[in-house]
């Protein structure tokens, strides 16, 4: 078989040897990459379509000679694509082969046993070794070609009939495999590469190994200048990122450029995916000098991201947005990226459900814990979820069905996918008390508390004082955040707060938050149209987050409320220049709270670090300069404490800023980051080594000048290639033979001498090692800054408080609000000329809204029964009273002429009519569940608002339930109550409790319809709404007027009006009969009874 090769002349043998070397190198490269035998090689044409093309050649009556000639052309093109120089003697080539005859002998060594390709090659070689009869050879070639065509067609049919080959692996990757697989015939199987024993490429194997450990994660794999997705991840990326996805080897693949990573990661995370970034951990020069220089670059999972853990340089768009178009592509963070962990335990004996909760915001450092008893409707849990609005919830796998249904409904309540809550399920064993306690003990025992200051030493004892349901949540949170390298935030004891404390904050349950539209409106779910929207004039992101907490958690302490009111009043009335200067300092500030937390996690870029520290340093200097004026011109204790304390807290920032080089920090050049290298000996020594190599290269220039006889010669740099020796092409004869030619033009050639090649390689290694050293020193530098995290964070909280106070002052000034009186002892709500703050702001004109008074007193009339026509303004009025109360207790001025509010411990609202199919509750059931919850929680210091309770069932049952419920609030609970109803019998409670109940209605004008000749045709009345609260009960609700406004056809309105009059007459006659009977039973005198009888007859 090799005889013809050995008998070639020497010159041709050398050429053959050259060809052989080229082919060997190619196959060695292919073998290193574990390229499947079905895939085309480098610069080779894809053979998968070979059968289809050859089938066309065999059609149309083409002669054998022509087919043979065509096969020569095809073969030559393939040889050229494969970069193989064919031997001149190899003129006869098989139509099946893709390389020359000289190469085929070598190809056998690389062929896999049993493959169809090797069998065909052997047949071709045998045919080529018998050239005695050219005609016979041609005929044999034609017959062989036809046979191959038949085999090819047969294989094609088998591909269609047979499904994809299933590869048995320990971990199933069928969901990541390509949809269509190139199949062998039924008696052949996919054969692994001879060297690697695998049908996957090394990169695919590397991806599979990482994917096996992170099966629920979309992986972005760094490959040079781009990040690639594989398999199902590629299909997800193509769908969500609107990029192309195609088949490559065994997997579908898609890619994105490296500089757009943060944009695409944020997009995927916003859609609810967990995203992992896999980066190369080797550099080119260091790898080339190592023992594994021919292997694949090592890669490791660098970072993980979800909705609550978007912390890190890869996803931070700070200073990366070069233009407005790119800024529009970035998905912005929600206001609060909270991670909530929930556990529950049910006591079968007492039948009580206890819920534990840990809420963490890794991006700003908030940690809140809570433990509470909940009812069957899970109203307490729902209220906390709606108030916090987490972006991710961590739950055990065995969560109860009712709780899981509640969380799922809340998570999917938003129409937009990026607003939905991500729910992460973990093994239930993680939430067991012994397991969770072990995690906590290991975490706090292994963590060096000295790094976080003496104030953090009491952490372990703090956790030991937590309730067991909270412990069952804290353990899984520690383990979960450890995966993202964000667990360090749990070391901050000052950020551990109780989520709800009855003694500190007003209670606002889920129904109250929704019905009063405190944080978002009920129509679209956006902030506009909510109380927060009215009050939010903050200028900083951290101020906006704090104001949100103020609005959802009104204060209970009169001292704290009055302190805020005094600060707002001074901002409004003071003529000092200090306050305008302070307000201007808050404009255009970056998110200092997030920036500090990113530094604390050691996940910030140099640009972000410089921006945060320079801003803190500037604020410290400017506030320090204002201290004399603050002490002399301000009287508010709250303002003085905030402003005098902040400069000292910010002072550490300047010490870190002066160490940095501004230009290097802004450009991200860590090798030139530090001005003084005295404290960084590793970087200093590495730079000295680099300078030594550079000196050697510059000294070598003398030798080069002597060799080239050019005293003025100097090195040049072209396209990033340094130390190039430029020689004119006319002088190329004097260039030493061992010099390496790098590039050339028509005029000059550029070379590296052996000395420069060696030194340049060493220089590249040192430079890359310097980058590694600088990264290591940078992390240590951030660790030192992190020791001051809690002090600096306290200063930022002071700035956020100032921002909130300025916001409340601006709202009060723009809308002419008044300062309410807040009383601790009395239970009362007295409002003169009060207005609805949201509706007034939406209308724009303050004079259009009709003001109303409110008089509620615990020892006087504490219940108002409000009746009146539909759309008369009843619901707006009762919302107005509740919102004014909330504003008063958060320290804001209120929309009224005068207001006096006693401390209210909770506001409970039952409004609207809607069922809850997901929980299996009808409209009436929803009403009663909420009413039951209010009855269980309301106290004498609460404000209860009930809107049309009992309308979800029959009239008699509805009246009975509404009557009994209202009487219970009046007689037993003794809370302040606003009760809206259309049931006239409820107004009789005023006669039973005249000191505590008052009837009111929303005033209106009744326009009588024109009389008609037809007695049976009745026209509905016309109503003009006055929106004024008036004493007394309304006799009717005038629902037909609303029907007219809704454009119900006139014929239906006339019929309804007739029927309404008929029913009203019937009810009035019955009432008259009842009064007559009552009067009869009350008569005791016989003569009076006879007179009554004669009159009635």
699-717 pLDDT tens trace: 999 999 999 999 999 999 9
Classify residue 921 as left (phi > 0), alpha (psi -120 to 50) or beta. Answer: beta
Point out the least confidently predicted range of 297-311, 331-345, 382-396, 1050-1064.
1050-1064
pLDDT at 762: 93
Please state the separation of Cα 757 from the chain's center in Å. 49
pLDDT at 181: 36
Nearest to 387 by CA among 936, 767, 886: 886
Nearest to 251 by CA among 280, 215, 208, 214: 208
Diameter over CA atoms, the chain: 154
Q: What span, in angstroms and rounded, lies between the C-alpha atoms of 621 and 847?
A: 46
Q: What's the whole-number mean pLDDT along residues 464-474? A: 87
Where do the DSSP E strands lie in 878-918? 898-902, 906-910
Evaluate if residue 18 carries a pLDDT over 50.
no
Q: Write out pLDDT tens, residues 247-256.
A: 998 999 999 9
Classify residue 851 as left (phi > 0), alpha (psi -120 to 50) or beta. Answer: beta
Please answer whether residues 807 and 543 qualify as being in contact, where contact means their C-beta atoms are separated by less than 8 angstroms: yes
Exposure on the CB side of residue 943, measured as CA atoms within 13 A: 29
Give the model's confidence band at 160: pLDDT under 50 very low, under 70 low, under 90 confident, else very high. very low
DSSP element (H, E) containing 368:
strand 366-374
Question: What are the tokens at 790?
Answer: 């809690």
Angle at 46 between CA 43 and CA 48, to 5 degrees: 165
pLDDT at 6: 39
* Stronger pLDDT, 1097 or 1028, i.e. the higher one: 1028
Q: What span, in angstroms and rounded, lies between the C-alpha atoms of 846 and 837?
A: 10
Q: What span, in angstroms and rounded, lies between the C-alpha atoms of 891 and 808?
A: 8
SS3 letters for 377-417? CCHHHHHHHHHHCCCEEEEECCCCHHHHHHHHHHHCCCCCH
Give the model's confidence band at 194: pLDDT under 50 very low, under 70 low, under 90 confident, else very high. low
Strand order in the sheet with 740-744: 716-718, 721-728, 748-752, 740-744
DSSP conformational letter for 168? P
Classify residue 319 as left (phi > 0), alpha (psi -120 to 50) or beta. Answer: left
DSSP conformational letter for 185? P
Residue 771's SS3 state is helix
Q: What span, in angstroms and rounded, lies between the C-alpha atoms of 77 and 71?
A: 10
Per-residue burial over 628-639, b if 16 or more Cβ lie within 10 Å, else e, is eebeebbebebb
pLDDT at 588: 85
Evaluate if residue 87 carries a pLDDT over 80.
no
Evaluate if residue 64 carries a pLDDT over 70.
no
Evaluate if residue 403 carries a pLDDT over 80.
yes
Strand order in the sheet with 898-902: 821-823, 898-902, 828-834, 852-857
pLDDT at 1: 41
Q: What span, in angstroms and rounded, lies between the C-alpha atoms of 135 and 140?
A: 8
Question: What are the tokens at 585?
Answer: 């300092």
Question: What are the tokens at 1054?
Answer: 């006339």
Q: Write out pLDDT tens, residues 1051-1083.
A: 777 777 776 777 667 766 766 676 666 666 666
What percent of the chain is predicted at pLDDT more than 90? 48
Please answer whether residues 463 and 440 qualify as being in contact, where contact means their C-beta atoms are separated by less than 8 angstroms: yes
Evaluate if residue 200 carries a pLDDT over 80.
yes
Q: What's the whole-number mean pLDDT along residues 779-788? A: 93
Nearest to 1021 by CA among 870, 845, 889: 870
- For residue 951, with 0-12 CB atoms within 10 Å meaning exposed, 13-18 middle and 19 or more buried, which class applies? middle
What percent of the chain is predicted at pLDDT more than 70? 70
* Stronger pLDDT, 189 or 436, i.e. the higher one: 436
Beta strands 339-347 and 299-305, pairing class: unpaired
Phi, psi of 426, deg, nearest 5: -125, 165
Q: What's the whole-number mean pLDDT along residues 293-318? A: 84
Per-residue burial over 710-745, b if 16 or more Cβ lie within 10 Å, else e, is beebebeeeeeeebbbbbeeeeeeebeeebeebeee
Q: What span, in angstroms and rounded, lies between the C-alpha atoms of 512 and 518?
A: 8
Q: What span, in angstroms and rounded, lies between the C-alpha atoms of 750 and 715?
A: 10
Evaluate if residue 186 carries a pLDDT over 60.
no
Strand order in the sheet with 299-305: 246-248, 251-257, 226-230, 217-223, 274-280, 299-305
Q: How many DSSP H helices and E strands does the chain contain?
A: 38, 27
Give the model's confidence band at 882: pLDDT under 50 very low, under 70 low, under 90 confident, else very high. very high
DSSP conformation letters of 224-248: TTEEEEETHHHHHHHHHH----EEE
DSSP conformational letter for 916? B
Q: Write out pLDDT tens, residues 480-497.
A: 999 999 998 888 665 688
Q: Write out pLDDT tens, residues 346-359.
A: 887 777 889 999 99
Give the model's confidence band at 327: pLDDT under 50 very low, under 70 low, under 90 confident, else very high. very low
Angle at 970 between CA 964 and CA 972, to 5 degrees: 85
Radius of gyration of the chain (CA): 41
Q: What's the whole-number mean pLDDT along residues 269-273? A: 92
Evaluate if residue 453 carries a pLDDT over 80.
no
Q: What span, in angstroms and rounded, lies between the C-alpha atoms of 195 and 179?
A: 27
What rounded mean pLDDT belongs to the chain? 78
DSSP conformational letter for 251? E
Please answer whether residues 831 and 896 qualify as being in contact, where contact means their C-beta atoms are separated by less than 8 angstroms: yes
Nearest to 510 by CA among 39, 911, 189: 911
Angle at 654 between CA 649 and CA 657, to 5 degrees: 140
* Stronger pLDDT, 1046 or 644, i.e. the higher one: 644
- pTM, full prediction: 0.75
Give the model's confidence band at 445: pLDDT under 50 very low, under 70 low, under 90 confident, else very high. confident
Cβ atoms within 10 A of the Cβ of 111, count?
Answer: 18
Give the model's confidence band at 545: pLDDT under 50 very low, under 70 low, under 90 confident, else very high. very high
């Amino acid at each position: 078989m090799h005889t013809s090769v050995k008998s070639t002349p020497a010159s041709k043998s050398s050429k053959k040897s050259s060809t052989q070397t080229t082919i060997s190198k190619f196959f060695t490269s292919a073998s290193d990459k574990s390229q499947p035998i079905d895939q085309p090689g480098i610069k080779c044409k894809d053979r998968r379509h070979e059968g289809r093309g050859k089938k066309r050649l065999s059609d149309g009556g083409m002669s054998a000679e022509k087919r043979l000639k065509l096969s020569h052309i095809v073969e030559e093109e393939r040889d050229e694509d494969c970069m193989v120089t064919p031997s001149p003697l190899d003129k006869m080539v098989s139509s099946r082969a893709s390389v020359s005859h000289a190469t085929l002998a070598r190809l056998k060594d690389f062929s896999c046993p049993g493959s169809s390709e090797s069998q065909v090659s052997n047949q071709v070689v045998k045919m080529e070794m018998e050239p005695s009869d050219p005609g016979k050879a041609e005929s044999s070639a034609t017959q062989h070609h036809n046979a191959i065509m038949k085999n090819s067609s047969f294989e094609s049919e088998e591909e269609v009939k047979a499904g994809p080959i299933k590869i048995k692996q320990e971990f199933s990757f069928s969901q990541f495999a390509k949809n269509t697989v190139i199949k062998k015939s039924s008696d052949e199987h996919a054969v692994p590469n001879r060297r690697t024993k695998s049908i996957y490429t090394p990169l695919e194997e590397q991806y599979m190994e990482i994917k096996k450990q992170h099966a629920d994660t979309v992986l972005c794999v760094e490959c040079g200048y781009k990040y690639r997705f594989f398999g199902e991840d590629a299909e997800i990326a193509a769908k969500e990122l609107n990029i192309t996805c195609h088949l490559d080897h065994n997997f579908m693949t898609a890619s994105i450029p490296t500089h757009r990573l943060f944009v695409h990661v944020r997009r995927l995370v916003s859609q609810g995916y967990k995203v992992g970034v896999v980066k190369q951990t080797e550099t080119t020069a260091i790898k080339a000098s190592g023992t594994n220089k021919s292997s694949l670059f090592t890669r490791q999972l660098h970072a993980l991201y979800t909705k609550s853990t978007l912390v890190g340089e890869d996803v931070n768009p700070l200073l990366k947005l070069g233009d407005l178009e790119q800024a529009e592509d970035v998905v912005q963070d929600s206001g609060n990226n909270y991670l909530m962990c929930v556990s529950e335990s049910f006591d079968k004996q007492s039948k009580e459900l206890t819920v534990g909760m840990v809420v963490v915001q890794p991006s700003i450092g908030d940690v809140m814990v809570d433990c509470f008893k909940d009812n069957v409707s899970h109203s307490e849990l729902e209220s906390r979820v709606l108030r916090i609005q987490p972006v991710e919830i961590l739950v055990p796998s065995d969560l109860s069905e009712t709780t899981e249904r509640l969380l799922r409904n809340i998570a999917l309540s938003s129409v937009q996918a990026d607003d939905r809550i991500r729910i992460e399920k973990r093994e239930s064993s993680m939430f067991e008390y012994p397991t969770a306690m072990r995690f906590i003990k290991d975490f706090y025992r292994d963590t060096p508390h000295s790094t976080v200051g003496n104030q953090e030493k009491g952490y372990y004892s703090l956790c030991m004082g937590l309730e067991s349901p909270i412990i069952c949540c804290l353990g899984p949170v520690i383990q979960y955040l450890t995966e993202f390298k964000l667990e360090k935030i749990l070391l901050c004891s000052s950020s551990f707060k109780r989520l709800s404390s009855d003694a500190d904050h007003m209670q606002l349950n889920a129904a109250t938050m929704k019905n009063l539209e405190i944080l978002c409106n009920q129509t679209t779910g956006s902030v506009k149209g909510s109380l927060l929207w009215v009050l939010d004039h903050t200028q900083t992101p951290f101020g906006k987050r704090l104001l949100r907490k103020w609005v959802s958690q009104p204060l209970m302490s009169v001292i704290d409320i009055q302190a805020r009111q005094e600060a707002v009043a001074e901002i409004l009335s003071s003529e000092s220049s200090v306050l305008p200067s302070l307000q201007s300092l808050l404009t255009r500030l970056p998110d200092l709270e997030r920036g500090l937390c990113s530094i604390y996690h050691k996940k910030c870029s140099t640009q972000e670090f410089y921006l945060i520290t320079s801003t803190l340093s500037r604020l410290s200097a400017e506030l320090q300069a204002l201290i004399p004026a603050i002490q002399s011109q301000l009287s508010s204790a709250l303002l003085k404490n905030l402003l005098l304390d902040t400069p000292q807290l910010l002072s550490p920032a300047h010490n870190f800023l002066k160490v940095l080089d501004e230009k290097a920090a802004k450009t991200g050049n860590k090798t030139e980051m530090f001005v003084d290298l005295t404290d960084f000996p590793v970087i200093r020594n590495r730079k000295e080594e680099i300078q030594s190599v550079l000196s050697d290269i510059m000294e070598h220039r003398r030798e080069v000048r002597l060799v080239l006889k050019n005293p003025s010669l100097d090195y040049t740099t072209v396209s990033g290639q340094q130390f190039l020796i430029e020689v004119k092409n006319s002088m190329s004869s004097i260039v030493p033979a061992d010099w390496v030619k790098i590039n050339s033009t028509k005029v000059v050639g550029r070379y590296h001498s052996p000395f420069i090649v060696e030194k340049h390689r060493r220089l590249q290694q040192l430079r890359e090692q310097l980058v590694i050293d600088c990264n290591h020193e940078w992390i240590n530098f951030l660790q030192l800054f992190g020791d001051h995290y809690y002090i600096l964070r306290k200063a930022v909280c002071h700035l956020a408080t100032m921002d909130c106070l300025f916001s409340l002052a601006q709202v009060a000034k723009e809308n002419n609000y008044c300062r309410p009186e807040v009383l601790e002892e009395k239970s009362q709500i007295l409002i003169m000329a009060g207005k609805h703050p949201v509706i007034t702001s939406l209308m724009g004109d303050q004079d259009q809204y009709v003001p109303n008074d409110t008089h509620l007193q615990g020892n006087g009339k504490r219940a108002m029964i409000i009746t009146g026509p539909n759309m008369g303004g009843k619901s707006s009025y009762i919302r107005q009273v509740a919102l004014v109360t909330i504003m008063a207790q958060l320290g804001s001025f209120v929309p009224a002429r005068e207001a006096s509010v006693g401390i209210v411990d909770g506001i409970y609202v039952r409004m609207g009519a809607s069922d809850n199919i997901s929980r299996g509750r009808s409209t009436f059931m929803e009403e009663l569940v909420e009413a039951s919850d209010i009855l269980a929680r309301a106290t004498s210091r609460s404000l209860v608002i009930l809107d049309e309770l009992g309308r979800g069932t029959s009239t008699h049952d509805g009246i009975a339930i509404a009557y009994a419920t209202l009487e219970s609030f009046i007689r037993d609970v003794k809370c302040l109550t606003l009760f809206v109803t259309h049931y006239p019998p409820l107004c009789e409670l005023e006669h039973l409790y005249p000191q505590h109940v008052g009837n009111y209605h929303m005033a209106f004008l009744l326009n009588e319809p024109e009389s008609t000749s037809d007695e049976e045709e009745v026209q509905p009345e016309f109503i003009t709404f006055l929106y004024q609260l008036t004493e007394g009960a309304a006799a009717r609700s005038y629902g037909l007027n609303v029907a007219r406004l809704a454009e119900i056809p006139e014929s239906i309105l006339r019929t309804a009006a007739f029927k309404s009059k008929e029913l009203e007459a019937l009810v009035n006659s019955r009432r008259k009969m009842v009064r007559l009977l009552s009067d009869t039973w009350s008569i005791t005198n016989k003569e009076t009874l006879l007179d009554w009888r004669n009159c009635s007859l």
